[in-house]
Structure 1
Amino acid sequence: MFRTLEFWSHVVSSSRILKWQAVEAIVCRCYAKKARNDGCARAHVDIPPAVDPLCPQPCERRKKKKEGILHKIKLKVIEGGTNFGTPFRRVECKEVCPKKPKAPPKALPAPAKKLPPMPEPRPGVQVSVLGADTAIGQYLALLLKQCSCIKKLRLYEAKDSQGCNRDLCSVVQDLQHINTNCLVQAFSCACYGLERCLQNSDIVLMLESGYLNVDMPVEKRFLYQAPIVKSYADAIANECPKAFIIVCATPIDCMVPLIAETLKETGWYDPNKLLGSLAVPEMRASTLAARALCLEPRYTRVPCVGGTEGDTLVPLFSKAVEYFDFAQHNTEMMTEAVRNAPSAVSRCDGPCQRVGDLSEAHALAGLVTAVAHALLCHDIPRVTGFVETDLRQVISPARFIAGPVDIGGSGIMRNLGLPKMTEHEATIANVALSSLAYRQSMVYDWYCKYRSSSTRLDACQFEFFCPRNYSRFNDCAYANV
């Protein structure tokens, strides 16, 4: 009995020891111990390792090799769950780790945005319109005010009046309200403003100073306009000798040689900066050809050669469309229509017998705009102008002939001469050149008589020297010798 009792007592005692050890193991594994220095309950595995003062590293937890039931319980504890009703919270490293210096980027950094500088003033030219007191001058001023390459527009009235407060001043005040970057100024001959109007001008446009009857003969119109144009040329030589001169005062066939002789006397003649306008007859011829062919007028161009008006004007309708020629009777009919266009649009009442002001102003504005763009090196336009001929291209009795030219920054770059013409056009051109030679000889005789540079040409009726007259062919012969 004693042995049996001792055996059972030993079994009971051993079972208590095993039970206590198991409970203690479960408590150690499943419950967290309280930290001594920290107020929160944390698991042993969640306590971060000691930070190395020499090389601080981010807090990383160790990973166990085996993943069992205890690992799943730990994950729940870390994620903020509970274990048997005991709350736990996620442990994080509260110590701030110093930031590592960033490596320099491989690519270049983006440039810093800078404020754009103020744009420079837009380049432009200064245009002086002489004889702007007519209706053509006012319409032309309206069109040139809208040109972006013109920075200053000066208008000069050639009619003598009682003071400067005339209609031109009202027109200028009206033009100033247009929102374009072009300054418009008015000058009058009553205030002696011709010299001030021409100062520092890049382009000088000469218009007719008064209304002339288109039915007047060329000699009368020349005698009326010659003294005024001569005074214009003298003022240009004094104020703006390097300006590009566009002559629109009729008869243009006579005014261009007169200006050339005047500038030669002063020593400022440049044949590359003197141009007689054929914009108006060329516009009329192009429009007439486009209507006959049912084409767009702006894509049809009919060049004009020879002179600028009347019998000297030769429109080349064979150049209107490539590989197409009008019949001879149609060419003759359209040529007569272009030559008689000024009379066709004239009116019968009053001393003013010109009503083609709008179309002429449009054509002249296009020519001035093309020359302005060429002087600013924006373009190299090809226009038709009445210029001095090149002896290497054309041998004729006339020194000045109309033909196509290319305009650049320094003026006329190249004179293309007379283009290839049909037999009928060549016959008309020969007659036109003979008429031009007569008109230019008349201009030379008048210039030799009134050679003085004084503005009062009527007071100088004598000749300073005995002129020597040479024909065109003799000049060529002497030049070759």
Structure 2
Amino acid sequence: MEAGDRVANLLGHLNPVYMPEGGLRAAPTSASSSKKPKVAVLGAAGGIGQPLALLLKGSNLVGELSLYDIVGTEGVAADLSHIDSSVKVSSATGADKLGEALYDCDLVVIPAGVPRKPGMTRDDLFNINAGIVANLCAGIAKYCPGAWVAIISNPVNSTVPIAAEVFKKAGTYDPRKLLGVTKLDVLRANTFVAEAIGKAPESVSVPVIGGHAGVTILPLLSQTTPRVEVSADKAKALTERIQDAGTEVVKAKAGKGSATLSMAYAAAKFAESCLLALQGQSVVECAYVESHLTDLPFFASQVRLGRSGVEEYLPLGSFNELETKNFGALKSELRGSIQKGVDFVHKS
């Protein structure tokens, strides 16, 4: 299926939403409801937000595309509104308009925040983006607590736990509907492995587990479909390239950008999976979610999505020697990132 066709297949109807005047509006009982979903992109004027909004505007399954940012939102909306698709585009700018952007939303995608730049540490990124994500999630809890929330803002290893704690405080937390988007790691793994074995990327599927930063990203090359045989040295090189792929893009853009286009594409594909599941289809995706598969409270793995969100956690399967070693290494790093997110909310 062509990329344009895939994007055109996005979205079905979703869940209850908060009405500002009070109470919950009941969601339609059938996915065949004629009402098309309202999808919000928070951070819509940014490097990821703009191409993501473009892809969603091209979907004939979206009813309304709600764009929100602190500046520049109207220009993005005006630009997109000239595209000849039936998707209604609305915009809201500034903190006082967040409720307007979120009201009646079914799916909220959050690419808001600053991208990683050369020389920027994870602490630098966290210190800026943590507060942004916490504030946006407080708005979601108030105006559309039944919505699915897909978080792109880095560091995802910490921002998803931040979102969870904000929702818990508000009494709206549903772990099945809070998803950290690690889809780009999967796309990179598929692409790099396909290049190495001389196959088309569309024909390769590599599970990627763990987290969404550096050593916490663990591609399970031994579980690739179709099965591939590469040397131990090649597997190590491929794993390291997948883990460092974000830095590869930052360097290639000479410090003037990060992985915005590929991330937007990955986010659109992930949204498609979520929304097809909401239509009643069984969809398997890798996502960073609250999980019981390990002793870590959050973990990225293959999950089965359905109408209620995450409905099944697929087994991790067996690891080879390299994967076992890397799995042990990632746990300490990921545990610290999770705790950092939790502590941020409770110390704020």
**TM-score for both structures, normalised by structure 2:** 0.86
Show the 5 A alignment for 1:182-331: 182-189=87-94, 192-213=96-117, 215-331=119-235
Compared with structure 1, are the counterparts of its residues 138 and 276 closer, same or farther at alpha carbon in structure 2 (3 Å cutoff)? same
Contact map agreement 1:374 1:381 (CA 8 A) in 2: yes
Distance 1:419 1:184, change over 3 A: farther
Q: Letter of the aligned partner of 2:44 in structure 1?
A: A
The answer for the alignment partner of 1:460 in structure 2 is none
- Cα drift, residue 347 of structure 1: 4.6
Residues 178 and 243 of structure 1: is their aligned pair in 2 closer, same or farther, counting only changes over 3 Å? same
- How far off its partner does 1:238 sit? 0.5
Does the 8 A contact of 2:40 with 2:107 survive in 1? yes
Q: Distance in 2 between matches of 1:259 and 1:430?
A: 26
The equivalent of 1:360 in structure 2 is 263
The structure whose Rg is larger is 1
Specify which of 74, 83, 86 is matched with residue 181 of structure 1. 86
Residue 318 of structure 2 corresponds to: 420
Q: CA deviation at 1:358?
A: 1.8
The residue matched to 2:250 in structure 1 has which SS?
coil
The reply to whether residue 406 of structure 1 matches residue 304 of structure 2 is yes
Give the 3-state SS of the residue equivalent to 2:196 in structure 1.
helix
1:63 matched residue in structure 2: none
1:140 is aligned to 52
Q: Which moved more, 1:253-262 or 1:367-376?
A: 367-376
Give the C-alpha shift of residue 209 in structure 1: 2.3
Output the CA distance in 1 between the equivalents of 2:124 and 2:276. Answer: 36
Amino acid of the residue matched to residue 168 of structure 2?
K
Residue 386 (structure 1) aligned with residue 291 (structure 2): no
For residue 346 of structure 1, give the secondary structure of its aligned residue in structure 2.
helix
Conserved in 1, the CA contact under 8 Å of 2:205 and 2:226? no
Greater share of strand: 2
Whether contact under 8 Å (1:130, 1:158) holds in the other structure is no
CA distance in 1, matches of 2:190, 2:298: 23
Within 1, Cα distance between the matches of 2:300 and 2:336? 16
In 1, Cα distance between equivalents of 2:188 and 2:195: 11
- Equivalent residues in 2 for 1:101-112, closer than 5 Å: none
CA spacing shift, 1:448–1:171, aligned 2, 3 Å: closer
Are the equivalent residues in 2 in contact too, given 1:310–1:339 (CA < 8 A)? yes
Letter in 2 for 1:441: Q
Separation in structure 2 between the aligned mates of residue 292 and residue 365 of structure 1, nearest angstrom: 26
| Compared CA separation, residues 181 and 122, structure 1 to 2 (3 A) | farther
Whether the 8 Å contact between 1:124 and 1:376 is mirrored in structure 2 is no
Pair 212,415 (structure 1): closer, same or farther in 2 beyond 3 Å: same
Decide which of 413, 433, 441 is 2:331's aligned counterpart: 433
Figure out how many residues of one structure are paired with residues of the other and give that number.
Answer: 317
Whichever residue aligns with residue 147 of structure 1, its letter is S
Instruction: Map Cα deviations across residues 309-344 of structure 1 (whole Å, 9 max, x no partner).
Output: 111110111222344332211111011111111121
Question: Is the 1:389–1:417 Cα contact (8 Å) retained in structure 2?
Answer: no
Q: Secondary structure at the match of 1:153?
A: strand
Distance 1:417 1:260 in 2: 23
Contact kept? 1:248, 1:276, Cα under 8 Å: yes
User: Is this contact kept in 1: 2:47–2:260, CA < 8 A?
Assistant: yes
- Structure 2's unaligned 5+ residue stretches are 1-31
Corresponding position of 2:13: none
| Residue 40 of structure 2: aligned partner | 128
DSSP 3-state at the match of 2:318: coil
**Range 238-247 or range 202-211, more displaced:** 202-211
What's the TM-score once normalised by structure 1's chain length?
0.63
Q: Which has the higher contact order (CA 8 A, sep 6+)?
A: 2
Q: Which residue of 1 aligns with 2:241?
A: 337
Q: Which residue does the alignment assign to 1:443?
A: 341
Q: Is the 1:149–1:372 contact (alpha carbons within 8 Å) kept by the matching residues of 2?
A: no
- Verify the 8 A CA contact 1:156 1:187 in the aligned structure 2: yes
Take 2:177 and 2:166, find their aligned partners in 1: how far apart are those partners? 14
Q: Which amino acid aligns with 2:309?
A: G
Partner of 1:97: none
Q: 1:176 Cα deviation (Å)?
A: 1.5
CA distance in 2, matches of 1:343, 1:214: 8
Paired residues for 1:1-20 under 5 Å: none
Cα 1:355/1:219, change in 2 over 3 Å:
closer
CA distance in 2 between counterparts of 1:339 and 1:359 reads: 15
The structural deviation recorded for 1:221 is: 1.1
1:171 aligns with 76
CA RMSD of aligned residues (A): 1.9
Distance in 2 between the 1:214 and 1:422 partners? Answer: 34
The whole-number CA distance in structure 1 between the counterparts of 2:106 and 2:51 is: 21
Tell me if 1:158 matches 2:70.
Answer: yes
Counterpart amino acid of 1:172? A
Counterpart CA distance in 1 for 2:218 and 2:262 is: 20
Distance 1:278 1:401 in 2: 11
The residue type equivalent to 2:184 in the other structure is V
Decide whether the 8 Å contact of 1:172 with 1:185 is kept in 2: yes
SS in 1 for 2:149: strand
Q: Which moved more, 1:209-218 or 1:432-441?
A: 209-218
CA contact (8 A) 1:153 1:185 kept: yes
CA distance in 2, matches of 1:251, 1:214: 15
